[in-house]
Amino acid sequence: MKKVQILLSSYNGEKFIKKQIDSILQQDFKELSILIRDDGSSDRTIDIIKEYSLLHKNIKFYTGKNIGAQNSFFNLLENADQTCDYYALADQDDIWKNNKVSKAIDELDKYDNNFPVLYSSDVTLVNEQLKIIKNKIRNYHVSPSFGNALVENICIGCTLVLNKKLLDLITNNIPHFSYMHDWWIYIVASYFGTIIFDYNSYVFYRQHSNNAIGTYTNFYSKIYKRVKNVKKIEDLFCNRQMNL
């Protein structure tokens, strides 16, 4: 059976992380391990993770200084178990349906693992108390592509599952400029490999005060930053500076 490693970055997540880890442990796909990197928590998050690691031999963790979510996930990818076949990213505050991993593996197994393949799915938007806000959030008229990846990210990090070939490609090409980890994975996968987008939802994607993604006050700075990053991406891809 294929082996899967879950890569979870935590930061001051004492309020929600137990239920997220529980939902991962309750997956119907059993050949999985969990690697957690704590990004400098100051609450009880590390104590909670330690308790789980003592109870479950398939959970390992390490701590580091606060470097932010995107760099913490890149660090996890660099420290992933090289013997695994697939790697799934996990946020600390969501809830996974018990067939999330198995559904992803069913799709990924249809493809040749000698080529980079990325799986992503839709999510169910919920509030802090897990009350459903929206059952699905994706526009069915938008398909994953490199052109789309340059202007928006439709592959949310907590839904991503990578094969080993894509993991190697990502870890050999960590961006030197600011880009969220999931968006960068989408960009690289759309250019060099294959993307599987499942329009079903297997994640309760929790929205709360600590995970806001932006406001209108910085709209123009976001546009300026995005244009600058597109130019840097063009330099990387068009000039073949990627390490393949």
pLDDT per residue as tens digits for the range 82-91: 999 999 999 9
Q: What is the pLDDT of residue 217?
A: 39
Tell me the pTM. Answer: 0.89
pLDDT of residue 209: 73
pLDDT band for position 234 (cuts 50, 70, 90): low
Confidence (pLDDT) at 212:
37
Confidence at 233, pLDDT banded by 50, 70, 90: low
Asked if residue 233 belongs to a domain, the reply is no
13 in a domain, yes or no?
yes
Q: Which of 32-36, 195-199, 219-223 has the lowest mean pLDDT?
A: 219-223
Does residue 158 lie in a domain region?
A: yes
43 domain residue, yes or no: yes
Q: What angle do CA 202, 148, 234 make, to 5 degrees?
A: 130
Q: Which CATH number belongs to the domain containing residue 87 in this structure?
A: 3.90.550.10
Compute the distance between CA of residue 29 and CA of residue 105 in angstroms, rounded to an integer: 9
Q: Domain total for the chain?
A: 1
Q: Which residues of 70-92 are buried (b: 16+ CB within 10 A; e: fewer)?
A: bbbbbbbbeebeeebbbbbbbbb
Candidate from 113-122, 155-164, 214-223 with smallest mean pLDDT: 214-223
Q: Is residue 231 part of a domain?
A: no
Cβ contacts of 52-55, under 8 Å, gap ≥ 24: 52/21
Q: What is the mean pLDDT of residues 131-142?
A: 89
Q: What is the pLDDT of residues 167-176, one digit of tens each?
A: 999 999 999 8
| Per-residue pLDDT at 239 | 59
Structural domain contains residue 236: no
DSSP code per residue over 6-33: EEEEESS-TTTHHHHHHHHHT-S--SEE
Contacts of 3 by beta carbon, 8 Å cutoff, 6+ apart:
31, 32, 33, 81, 83, 84, 85, 86
Give the domain range for residue 16: 4-214
Confidence grade of residue 142 (pLDDT, cut at 50, 70, 90): confident
156 assigned to some structural domain: yes
Domain membership of residue 230 (yes or no) is no
